[in-house]
Amino acid sequence: MGSYRIAVLPGDGIGNEVTRGAIEILKTIETRFGHQFAFEFGLIGGAAIDQKGTPLPDETLAICRESDAVLLGAVGGPKWDRNPAHLRPEKGLLQIRKEMNLFANLRPVKFYDSLTDSSPLKKEVIQGVDLLIVRELTGGLYFGKPSGRIVENGEEKAVDTLLYKKEEIQRIVKTAFELARKRKKKVTSVDKANVLESSRMWREITEEIAQDFPDVTLEHMLVDNAAMQLIRSPQQFDVIVTENMFGDILSDEASMLTGSLGMLPSASLSASGPSLYEPVHGSAPDIAGQNKANPIAAILSAAMMLRLSFGLAKEADAVEKAVQQVLAAGLRTADIAQKGHRAVSTEEMVNEIKAVILDNEAIS
C-alpha cells in the first residue's frame, strides 16, 4: 500500500468535468487496491485569472511542487480570449510547463477495436494503430525570444521565434529513443529541415543520439509529409519525436485515428520533479457544463500517472482494461457515439468505468 499526494488543477470548461471523473476513478483504485491518495486543489487558467488576477498563482505552483504528481484538466475559453498575452489562461499552462521543467510530453494514440466506426477513417487504415507522439514541451516556437509586437519605421509587426538549445533537443530525442527501445524500436523524427535551421540542427543531433541506440531504427520525415502519412498509413509509426508546435498539431490530427480527441491522454515528464498528466484536448467551450464531455482522455491520463509516477502498473492496467470493457460493451459519450447508439453523459461513463473496476474479478 502506498501513499501519494496528487495536485489537481481542473482549470476551465470541461476541465472541471473530466478531472472530477478522473478523481472518481483514482478514488476507486484507492479503495480497490488499498492505497492512499491525498488530493490538493489549485487554480490555473481563466479560473485563476478571475479569482487571483493571474493565470498561474504562486500557491498553485507550490502545491504542484510539493506533490508526487499533478493532474490537470484544461484551460481557456472565450471569456479570456481578448486578454493581453500575460493574462491569458494558456499562459498559465505554458508557465507551469516551464517552471516544472515538463520537457517531454508523451501522447499515446491507440486504436480501440470497438471504436472502429467512430473514426472517419477506414478500418483497414486504423486497425492496430499504436503510436506514441513525443512532443518537446518547453522550447521551440512556444518559448523562443524575441516574441511579441514591435513597431519598426512606423510599421506594426509581430514576431515569434523558433529556438532550441542543443541540450533541449538532446534530452527529448534521447527520451524518444529510450521509449522506442521498450516498444517497436522505431523512431520517426519529424521536422522541417528543408526550410528551418532549427530543424537541420534537430536532425544532426538526432543522428548523433541514434548512434547510442543501434537497436532502434531512425527515420526522418518532413512535417507536411508526416501530417499526410498519419492519415494514409498510420500503422507505419511507432515513436514520433518532434518540436513543440509540430507535436501539438500532429497529436490533434492523430486523435482522429482513435475516433475522438476526447480519447487522447498525455503525460508531461519533468527533468527535475513531479510530472503532470493531462488530456490532450482543451476546455471545449462548445460543450462545457453540459455533462457531455468524454472523460476517457482524463481517466487514461490518470492511468498514466499511476504507471509512470507511482509505478503502479497493475492499477494502471485495471483502469485501462475497464475503459476497454465499457467501450466494448457499447457505452459511448456523444463524441464517439455512432448512429443507433444512445450517448451517455460524462457521469454515466465515469460510473460505468468505476463499476467495472470494482466488479472485475480479473483485477486484484
Closest alpha carbon to 44 in 106, 100, 103, 88 = 88
* Residue 289 annotated as lining a ligand binding site: yes
* Sequence-separated (6 or more) residues with CB below 8 Å from residue 146: 159, 161
Q: How far apart are CA 177 and CA 241, in angstroms?
A: 9
Q: Which residue is nearest to ligand IPM (CB)?
A: 90
- Does residue 105 interact with ligand NAD by CB under 6 A? no
Identify residue 325 by its one-letter amino acid code: Q
**48/77 Cα distance (integer angstroms):** 13
Nearest-approach distance from CB 280 to Mn ion, in angstroms: 6
Asked if 281 interacts with ligand NAD (CB under 6 A), we say yes
- Between 7 and 216, whose beta carbon lies closer to ligand IPM? 7
Query: Does 97 appear as a known binding residue?
Result: yes
CA distance 287 to 271: 35
Q: What is the H or E stretch that residue 230 is in?
A: helix 223-232
315 lines the binding site for ligand NAD (CB under 6 A)? no
CB of 75 to ligand NAD, least distance (A): 4
Distance separating alpha carbons of residues 248 and 99, to the nearest angstrom: 19
Nearer to ligand IPM, 57 or 265 (CB): 265
The residue (of 21 and 282) whose beta carbon lies closer to ligand IPM is 282
Please report, as ranges, the residues that interact with ligand IPM according to CB under 6 A: 76, 90, 93-94, 248, 280, 282
To the nearest whole angstrom, how small is the minimum distance from the Cβ of residue 93 to ligand IPM?
5
**Is 293 within any annotated ligand binding site?**
yes
Report the C-alpha gap between 74 and 76 in whole angstroms: 7
Nearest distance from C-beta of residue 133 to ligand IPM, angstroms: 11
Contact status: 293 vs ligand NAD (CB under 6 A): yes
For Mn ion, which is the closer residue by CB, 18 or 337? 18
Query: Does 307 sit near ligand NAD (CB under 6 A)?
Result: no
Among left, alpha and beta (phi > 0; psi -120 to 50; other), residue 269 is beta
Residue carrying C-alpha cell 484507492: 30
**Sole window of 30-38, 74-82, 226-234, 245-253 interacting with Mn ion (rule: CB under 5 A):** 245-253
HEC-encoded secondary structure of 137-182: CCCEEEEEEEEEEEEECCEEEEEEEEECCHHHHHHHHHHHHHHHHC
Determine if residue 80 is labeled as part of a ligand binding site.
yes
Smallest gap from residue 283 Cβ to ligand IPM (A): 8
Stretch that binds ligand NAD, among 148-156, 203-211, 287-295, 310-318 (CB under 6 A): 287-295
Residue type at 284?
A: A
Least distance (Å) between residue 134 CB and Mn ion: 15
Query: Which of Mn ion, ligand NAD, ligand IPM, none has residue 293 at its interface (CB below 5 to 8 Å by kind)?
Result: ligand NAD
Task: Name the residues annotated as catalytic.
Answer: 142, 192, 224, 248, 252
CB crowding 170-184: b at 16 or more within 10 Å, else e: ebbbbbbbebbeeee
Q: Is 171 annotated as a binding residue?
A: no
Instruction: Please tell me the distance from the alpha carbon of residue 346 to that of residue 223, in angstroms, as a whole number.
Output: 35
- 23 binding ligand NAD? (CB under 6 A): no
> What cell numbers appear for 103 in the block?
520537457
Tally of residues, the chain: 364
Please report, in range form, the residues annotated as the binding site for substrate.
97, 107, 135, 224
Q: Which residue numbers belong to the known binding site for Mg(2+)?
A: 224, 248, 252
Annotated binding residues for NAD(+), as ranges?
77-90, 282-294
Numbered residues of the known binding site:
77-90, 97, 107, 135, 224, 248, 252, 282-294
